[in-house]
Structure 1
Amino acid sequence: MADCCDVSSETKENFNCPLCKTKGKSVEVITLKSLLTADALKRLEVGLSYNFCPAPECDVIYFNSGQQVFLKTDIKVPIFQKDTKNDVPICYCFDWTRERIQAEINQTGTSTAIQEISAHVKVNRCGCEVNNPQGSCCLGNVSMFIKQITK
């Protein structure tokens, strides 16, 4: 299995979401196998390529080139990009939520999330391909969130 935080391994085709037309991001089937509910997993077409829809307003989470979709209700965890609640993970491997990052910044004036996650990634502890619904490293999301709340 490729390192989940190695962006050079992203070579699959990206399709547009059949509902909102946003360009998707390819995900490995292992991500879907890990995060789909039991009923949704029964519909998974393993031989096809899947994409993640990052659009916040869209109910589609995963879709394939054949227009099959999996919705929010088909996923076991809340989706950071689509759920604005404070307890939703930004980092699914090491439990960094909006709330945790905000609390740390309120207490100390800064966040150690990026450094802590990076240290775990460096020693190959992350499991983004099975924990993160987008199927890849969370560091971009964590960085973006920290920049947003510290402006």
Structure 2
Amino acid sequence: MNDCCAVPATSKEGTLCCPECKQKGKAVEIITLKALLIPLALETIDPQSSYGFCHNHSCDIVYFSDNQKFQRQDVKVPVFQKDDGLDVPVCYCFGWTRQRLEQAVQQQKQPSNHVSEQVQANRCGCEVNNPQGSCCLGNVTAYVRSLGKASV
């Protein structure tokens, strides 16, 4: 496996835009789709295509290429960026859901530090666990910060 928390290379095709919402997507490696698509969707991927991840909350598309789209129901796990549920993972490798993060913050714990320690110990597998195909630490940090702002 590649280092999931390394800075990803740019897409082979340049800028990827979601065909549904037209927002700029993030390039995602084929290994992520292979790990997270349900079997019926997996059978249709083109391993030679470049795929993007759509992070737009209101768009039903998760992965896309020039000629393919995969929606939320094509993915084995709920997608953090597209599902507001408290039981949805923010960190897919170490089980940090929104609810667990909220509890940790209430108990004055530092969940971002825990995730960071695991990343530094080379224990994460975000490229096969996280639908966005890259490190979850930014999502964890942003969500924890949002909790602090919500209480102000």
Q: Do the structures match in fold with TM over 0.5? A: yes
Instruction: State the partner residue of 1:133.
Output: 131
Q: C-alpha root-mean-square deviation of aligned residues, in Å? A: 1.0
Instruction: State the partner residue of 2:33.
Output: 32
* Equivalent residues of 1:22, 1:55 under 8 A apart: yes
Distance between the aligned counterparts of 1:129 and 1:148, measured in 2? 25
Instruction: State the partner residue of 1:112.
Output: 110
- Quote the offset at 1:101 in angstroms: 0.7
- Quote the offset at 1:105 in angstroms: 1.4
- Quote the offset at 1:86 in angstroms: 0.3
Q: Does 1:92 align with 2:112?
A: no
Which of 114, 121, 129 aligns to 2:119? It is 121
Instruction: State the partner residue of 1:70.
Output: 70
Distance between the aligned counterparts of 2:78 and 2:133, measured in 1? 14
Distance between the aligned counterparts of 2:15 and 2:139, measured in 1? 19
What TM-score, normalized by structure 2, do the two folds share?
0.93
Instruction: Return 5+ residue gaps in structure 2 as ranges.
Output: none
1:4-30 superposed Cα distances (whole Å, 9 cap, x missing partner)? 1011x3222331100000100000000
What TM-score, normalized by structure 1, do the two folds share?
0.94
* Equivalent residues of 2:93, 2:129 under 8 A apart: yes
Distance between the aligned counterparts of 2:134 and 2:89, measured in 1? 14
Instruction: Return 5+ residue gaps in structure 1 as ranges.
Output: none
- Quote the offset at 1:145 in angstroms: 0.5
* Equivalent residues of 1:56, 1:82 under 8 A apart: yes
* Equivalent residues of 1:93, 1:132 under 8 A apart: yes
Distance between the aligned counterparts of 1:82 and 1:42, measured in 2? 24
Distance between the aligned counterparts of 1:106 and 1:118, measured in 2? 19
Q: Percent identity?
A: 51
* Equivalent residues of 2:104, 2:111 under 8 A apart: no
Q: Does 1:50 align with 2:48?
A: no
1:9-55 superposed Cα distances (whole Å, 9 cap, x missing partner)? 32223311000001000000000000000100011111101000000
1:40-77 superposed Cα distances (whole Å, 9 cap, x missing partner)? 001111110100000000000000123x1000010000
Runs ≥4 residues deviating over 4 A: none
**Alignment size in residue pairs:** 147
